[in-house]
Amino acid sequence: MAADRISPHWLRSPSGLVRARGLGLPLPGEPGPFNAITDVAGVEVGYSTIIRGDGPLVVGEGPVRTGVTAILPRGKTGLAVPCAAGFWSLNGNGEMTGTIWVEESGELDMPVTITNTHSCGIARDATIRWLYPRLDGITDSWGLPVAAETFDGDLNDINGFHVTNEHVFEALDGAASGPLEQGSVGGGTGMICYDFKGGSGTSSRRVTAAGETWTVGVFVQSNFGRRHECTILGVPVGQHIGHDLLRGKPAGSIIVVVATDAPIAGHQAKKLARRVALGMARTGALGHDSSGDIFLAFSTANAEGYSAPRGTLRRMIELSNADIDPLYEGVVEATEEAIIDSMVANRTMVGRDGATSIGLPHDELVEVMRRYGRM
pLDDT of 3 reads 54
CB of 180 closer than 8 Å to CB of 38: yes
Number of helices (H), then strands (E), belonging to the chain: the values are 8, 14
β-bridge partners, 221: 200, 255
pLDDT in tens, 44-94: 999 999 999 999 999 999 999 999 999 999 999 999 899 999 999 999 999
At 30, the amino acid letter reads: E
β-bridge partners, 292: 92, 253
pLDDT of 136 reads 67
In a 13 Å sphere around the CA of 137, the CA atoms on its Cβ side amount to 0
Distance, in Å, from the CA atom of 327 to the CA atom of 8, rounded to the nearest integer, reads 24
Distance, in Å, from the CA atom of 320 to the CA atom of 318, rounded to the nearest integer, reads 6
Q: How confident is the model at residue 134 (pLDDT cuts 50, 70, 90)?
A: confident
CB of 44 closer than 8 Å to CB of 72: yes
Domain ranges of the chain: 15-371
Q: How confident is the model at residue 352 (pLDDT cuts 50, 70, 90)?
A: very high
β-bridge partners, 70: 46, 113
pTM > 0.95: yes
Could you give the residue numbers annotated as active site? Answer: 253, 291, 293
Question: Angle 216-218-222 (CA atoms, 0-180°, nearest 5)?
Answer: 165
**Alpha carbon distance, N-terminus to C-terminus of the chain:** 15
Of 336, 368, 371, 359, the closest CA to residue 21 belongs to 336
pLDDT of 26 reads 97
Distance, in Å, from the CA atom of 105 to the CA atom of 305, rounded to the nearest integer, reads 15
Classified by CATH at the fold level, domain 15-371 comes out as L-amino peptidase D-ALA esterase/amidase (3.60.70)
pLDDT of 315 reads 92
At 244, the amino acid letter reads: D
Average pLDDT over residues 100-121: 97
pLDDT of 139 reads 52
pLDDT surpassing 80 at residue 140: no
Q: How many other CB atoms are there within 10 angstroms of residue 71's CB atom?
A: 25
Find all residues with CB under 8 Å of 281, minimum gap 6, and list them.
Answer: none
The conformation of residue 186, written as its DSSP 8-state character, comes to G
pLDDT surpassing 70 at residue 137: no
Q: How confident is the model at residue 138 (pLDDT cuts 50, 70, 90)?
A: low
What average pLDDT is seen over the chain? 95
pLDDT of 281 reads 98
Distance, in Å, from the CA atom of 137 to the CA atom of 58, rounded to the nearest integer, reads 44
